[in-house]
Amino acid sequence: MSILTLACASALSACSLMPTYERPIAPIDSQWPASAGIDSSYKDSYQRLSDKGWGHFYTDKTVQELITIALANNRDLRVAVLNIEQARAQLGLRRADQFPSLNAGITGSRVPASGAGISSTYTGGLTFTAYELDFFGRVASLKEQALAQYLATAEASQTARIALMSAVAQSWLSLLADEELLRASRQTLATREDSLKLVNLKRENGAASDLDWRLSQTLLESARVTLAQQTQKRALDENALALLLGQSLPASARTQLARGQLETVQLTRIAAGLPSDLLTDRPDIRQAEQLLLASNANIGAARAAFFPRISLTAGAGSASSELSGLFKSGSWGWTMAPQLILPIFDAGRNQANLDAAQTGRSIAVAQYEKAIQSAFREVADALASQSTLDQQLQASQALLEAESERAHLTQMRFDHGAASQLDWLDAQRSLFVAQQALVQTRLSFLQNQISLFKSLGGGANPLDIANVRQR
């Protein structure tokens, strides 16, 4: 009898009141805007970043080492991974609700009899209590909700992983840029100290005015201020990188930092593909869709609350008035107590719960669409910046070459008395500004490439949902 009942319950549990899920239409254009400057050759050779992995993009050995350290030690990422474990445990609880809990127990009671003496009763055997027969899919809907929330948590961890890799790479580039700017600031400070000494000597011999001396002093103090600012920024950037790594910089990175230059860092040029690719390539969009699926499943559970809830308590074992005869022949028996609860009046509680679930799904749809739109903008911004920064980098390199030549010619003219002190100081100041501008432009160019890689999904692999369902 019990086996037949459980079989019927299993057959009827396939009934589900969840709405049929349909993925909302992506609220974005099918092509990138013209300002993105998509190169057709890259578009034709597009290959999903998830097929290549992050090592294909971050080809620099030092960057790869730092990312590997951060993935192992970063505490924020560790919390994200532990959140997955917590969500997996919640999923396990919901899955367990679909099966009866079988327990073994022995109980005894002694109560006064109607006449003289005491009546004793002892029971022992196997029982399961208040097992819900999921005829209308309430428990199954809650399990689907927990599954979707677990997958959403896993996708959130992927997003945190991509963000961490991007932050580590960008922080390392900033540190390299700081080193270059520090070297340029030290060289400029040394040059201006020598210049001030020369102007001071000329001033003492009447060959330079007080104005020339003050101009040289102004440039010198300006260089000292810049050096102090760069020193502070480098220290702060190293601290920020150490926090991301979860430890101090390794010795190999410090060696590379001491001798390295920003221009030696090369990143793989990547293609953008189509906007629709973002739906499967970006874990934050996949996370938003899983949350939408969870809210969809919640509607099924809310709808099931309007229908009868049937639970079953059953047991099989032995009963005896004496403890010594509990498991003797002839004392065996079984019990089964089904219970049906039909909601009649609840002051609108079930309807309010259903309304809240439906509103929650509408909110999840809006959040899903917003995630897509935000992703579209991030990629479009990175693509638009990519072409302009490429032009800025070329222009900055040409400007530095021009300013270097100008400073050299001005120095020659100044040495021969054909240029004034003011002309020479102006040329030196412009050269320093051009050096700083080139480093900053190169840093922006490289960091934009990282932002584009991150916004396209960062090489994250989609979760194997079918495998998760089978666990």
- Tens of pLDDT along 399-421? 999 999 999 999 888 878 788 77
CA distance 139 to 428: 76
Strand order in the sheet with 332-341: 103-112, 118-133, 309-320, 332-341
Question: 443-464, pLDDT tens digit by residue?
Answer: 999 999 999 999 998 877 766 6
Cα within 13 Å of Cα(469), Cβ side: 7
Over range 380-388, report the average pLDDT. 90
The topology under which CATH files domain 16-98+136-308+347-470 is: Outer membrane efflux proteins (OEP) (1.20.1600)
CA distance 108 to 320: 10
CA distance 58 to 173: 12
- Of the pLDDT bands very low, low, confident and very high (cuts 50, 70, 90), residue 47 is low
Whether 16-98+136-308+347-470 and 101-133+311-342 share one fold: the answer is no
Share of the chain above pLDDT 90, in %: 49
Residue 291 pLDDT greater than 80, yes or no: yes
CA distance 315 to 318: 10
Task: Specify the CATH architecture of the domain 101-133+311-342.
Answer: Single Sheet (2.20)
User: Could you give the C-alpha distances from 213 to 187, 198, 419, 425, in angstroms and in order?
Assistant: 20, 9, 16, 11
Over range 90-116, report the average pLDDT. 82
Q: Which of 231, 244, 151, 149 is nearest to 186 (CA)?
A: 231
Q: What is the reported pLDDT for 10?
A: 47
* Rg of the chain in Å (alpha carbons): 36
Question: 128-147, pLDDT tens digit by residue?
Answer: 788 888 888 899 999 999 99
Q: Provide the token pair at 193.
A: 């100290």
Q: Which of 194, 183, 90, 207 is nearest to 142 (CA)?
A: 90
User: Residue 126: which region, alpha, beta or left (left: phi > 0; alpha: psi -120 to 50)?
Assistant: beta
Long-range contacts of 30-36 (CB under 8 A, 24+ apart): 30/274, 30/275, 30/276, 31/274, 31/275, 32/272, 32/275, 32/379, 32/380, 32/383, 33/380, 33/384, 35/380, 35/383, 35/384, 36/272, 36/379, 36/380, 36/383, 36/384, 36/387
CA distance 137 to 147: 15
Whole-prediction pTM: 0.85
Question: Taking the domains of the chain in order of start, what are their residue ranges?
Answer: 16-98+136-308+347-470, 101-133+311-342
- Of the pLDDT bands very low, low, confident and very high (cuts 50, 70, 90), residue 11 is very low
